[in-house]
Amino acid sequence: MHHSQETLQETLHEIPHRPSVLHIFKIYYPDLFGGTLTVIRDICAGLKDAFASAVLVCSQSAKPRELVVNDVPVERVRSFGNLLSLPAAPTYPWRLWRKIAEHDLLALHAPFPLADLVFALGFGAKRPLVVHWHADIVTHAGLRWFIEPLMRRTLRRAKAIIVSDHVLVETTPLLREFDDKCHVVPFGIDTSGYDWPKIEPHHVNDRGRLVLACGRLVPYKGFDVLIRAAVNRKFEVWIIGEGTERPRLEQMIRELGLTDRVRLLGSVSDSERIKLMCLSDVFVMPSVTNAETFGLVQLEAMAAGRPVVNTALDTAVPRVARHGMEAITVPPGDAEKLGEAIDALIGDPERRRRMGLSARTRALTRYSATAFREGMETVYRNAVTAPCRESATAAEPPQATSWPDSVRIAAALAWSDMRHRYVRSLLGPFWMSLQMAIVVVVLGSVIGQMSNADILSRLPMLALSMTAWTFLNSVVLDATTALQNSASLIRDRALPPVIFLLQCTFRQGLFALHNACVPLLLWLVLSHHDLSHALPALPGLLLFVACTFALGLVLGAMATRYRDLKPIIESTLMLAFLASPVIWSAEMINHRATVMRLNPLTHLFAVWREPLAGGHVDPTSLVYVLVTLGLLIFASMLTLVHLRKAAFWI
């Protein structure tokens, strides 16, 4: 199944005339087996003559990073586990962005928020995107407030959205917004592989009591309901699959005294799974939430001629195997009804035979692999040949300005603003430096009288701290009015709103460079000329600047959207200045005080001031700053998604 690096390179470059498609998902073979993975595998195999496929996924396996699975090159980005069912793979968005240009078509298998983050921010806009909608977010619905805007932007820029049944469009509010883009392509299955043994009308398993279920051992699959349904009944239950729920299910089997009739078989090969399908008497899919949108595994059971017991979900599950025809459908989560339905089939061999043949016929006629392949190829080809341009509403035309261009424009505007502000001025922005010098001298004399310390040796650090605080304070306050001051340009869509927030950082950065003359002169006059501590302080200073920019971006957008926030932000900054070690020396601070320990500014100043003073950064401060920066980056990305509505806020 796996091949060498040379084979991978050959696969990547073979048949160059075929359009290439990159399948984007969170996991793939051989790390896991499941319905979505089977769909991706079948698409790659079915369209191999028309498209050159590749897969980009996450993996907790360190090596190999690149491999070939069933003649398809797979790149695996390192994941450090799962957080809220999402791979903890911080480099995945970067790798996806780098891979986009190598392919003619992008196929996102949703939901996958890590990929939505890339597409929502506008990356890869020159490549057509097709979204395979496998399921809505059900398990962690509390995160919808953050994830749904990202998914909406992804669906807006997609050329097509593929669903397995139109009921998904009808029951999913987000899909209803893009009904015109949705294409129904039912999953298909090659029934020729399920002719073991050949299904004949008279074929019924002699034991007549084997119940099979298959799927990942996760909560929404409802295997705990199936286990409870076996209590006080005579049928046997075999469950194929692995997952996080296995320890809990094993404990439940022991506690209910079902070890002789309920077995967890773990992962098995495809051939073994097919064999078990054909040997079983009844197939059960006891899923309990709408995270189960189709149930590809029940289609496999139907291809094997097995009657199905499924649940009445608001998805395609009860529409694939229909109640009274190919299946008995019961309420989700009802163990008693599930057990009764299984007993009804176990006790009626003729009904099992009749429903099994009906299931086989439906799999052959309604869900054929040929129809699935042709439907996928049609959607893919239309997406590739369609004009490659962003679809957008009249109220939201596309922005052609890239991030590098935005940075250059913001820097140019900041420089021009500073020059025009001080035209005909003798000292220009150095008036601010003079003001800073006066403030430092006054504060230094007051602090010296309060602490009875040698204030002259502390003046350079005081001046530098005041310069840093003035930069942070000015960026945030400037950002709260930046969008309102540029209202006409934003309404006319002349420039993206983020440029004006970037401009605040650049403008205040120029002023900070002028103010830096004050601590530099004090250092030259009052301190030993030792530059050895400057270099270790640079990383901390960069973290300080990054946090300042992100804070300005978030608060600037919020203050524009909610006008009452501006005076609250101003008051909070004043209190933060008094409660933070900006002007206070280390001897004057109780570092154990709760205010100091929990105040982010305490640690934000410590990560660059301590190295500059010849000390070492407390690991707690470093962790605190990195966590703060991570949260600010998260909030900034969410802000950028909503910033497209800035024209309506002003």
> What's the DSSP call for residue 77?
E
Residue 47: name the closest of 208, 144, 162 by CA: 162
pLDDT tens digits for range 16-45: 568 899 998 887 777 666 677 888 888 998
Domain boundary among 154, 184, 214: 184
Q: Which domain holds residue 113?
A: 5-184
Q: Is residue 613 assigned to a domain?
A: yes
Domain containing residue 267: CATH number: 3.40.50.2000
Report residue 32 as tokens.
């896991």
pLDDT of residue 452: 59
Helix H or strand E segment including 309:
strand 308-311
Residues paired with 76 in a beta bridge? 57
Q: Please tell me whether residue 503 adopts helix, strand or coil conformation.
A: helix
- Inter-residue contact 286 to 259 (CB < 8 Å): no
Closest CA to 102 of 58, 54, 48: 54
Tell whether 14 and 72 lie within a shared domain: yes
Q: Does residue 608 form part of some domain?
A: yes
Residue 372 within any structural domain of the chain: no
User: Domain end: 366, 383, 413, which one?
Assistant: 366
Q: Looking at the structure, do residues 429 and 309 belong to the same domain, yes or no? A: no
Residue type, 283: F
CB atoms within 10 A of CB 12: 14
If asked whether residues 149 and 206 sit together in one domain, one would say: no
Q: Which pLDDT does position 403 carry in this prediction?
A: 67
pTM of the full structure: 0.56
**Judgement on whether residues 154 and 60 belong to the same structural domain of the protein:** yes
The pLDDT assigned to 523 comes to: 77
Identify whether 159 is part of a domain: yes
Q: Which two tokens stand for residue 180?
A: 């015109």
Q: What is the pLDDT of residue 496?
A: 82
CA atoms within 13 A on the CB side of 544: 24
CA-closest candidate to residue 504, choices 414, 567, 430: 414
Q: How far apart are CA 478 and CA 472, in angstroms?
A: 10
In a domain, 285, yes or no: yes
Question: Do residue 586 and residue 499 come from a single domain?
Answer: yes
With vertex at residue 591, the alpha carbon angle to CA 588 and CA 592, rounded to the nearest 5 degrees, is 130
- Position 327 scores a pLDDT of 93
| Confidence (pLDDT) at 587 | 57
> How many domains does one find in the chain?
3
Name the one residue in this structure whose structure tokens are 């506690």. Answer: 255
Q: Is 604 exposed, middle or buried (CB count within 10 Å of its CB: 0-12, 13-18, 19+)?
A: buried
Rounded to 5 degrees, what angle do the CA atoms 129, 135, 141 make? Answer: 115
Could you give the CA distance from residue 422 to residue 171 in angstroms, rounded to a whole number?
60
Q: Are 180 and 228 contained in the same domain?
A: no
- Residue 632 covered by a domain: yes
Instruction: Match 């959205």 to its residue by tokens.
Output: 161
Phi-psi region of 494 (alpha: psi -120 to 50; beta: other; left: phi over 0): alpha
Residue segments in the chain with a per-residue pLDDT below the cut of 70:
1-17, 31-34, 62, 84-85, 137-146, 195-208, 387-403, 420-432, 446-457, 492-494, 527-532, 584-596
Same structural domain, 146 and 265: no
In a domain, 602, yes or no: yes
357 in a structural domain: yes
Measured CA to CA, the distance from residue 609 to residue 617 in angstroms comes to: 9
pLDDT score at 309: 95
Decide: 291 and 313 in contact? Cβ < 8 Å.
Answer: no
**Domain shared by 487 and 634, yes or no:** yes
pLDDT score for 459: 77
End residue of a domain, out of 184, 207, 225: 184
Residues 287, 314 contacting (CB under 8 angstroms): no
Amino acid in position 130: V
By the 8 A CB rule, do 110 and 132 touch?
A: yes
CA 581, chain centre distance (Å): 37
> Are 19 and 49 members of one domain?
yes
Residues 325, 414, single domain; the answer is: no
Q: DSSP label at 82?
A: E
Instruction: Examine the domain organization and report whether 423 and 564 are in the same domain.
Output: yes
Sheet holding 20-24, edge to edge: 66-69, 72-78, 52-59, 20-24, 105-110, 129-133, 160-163, 182-184
Task: Report the residue count for the chain.
Answer: 650
Structure token pair of residue 529: 């000329």
Instruction: Say yes or no: 160 and 199 in one domain.
Output: no
Which amino acid type is present at position 370?
A: T
Q: What pLDDT does residue 607 have?
A: 87
- In whole angstroms, give the CA distance from residue 546 to residue 636: 11
Using DSSP's 3-state secondary structure scheme, residue 83 falls into: strand
Measuring CA to CA, which residue among 54, 48, 42, 55 is closest to residue 15?
48
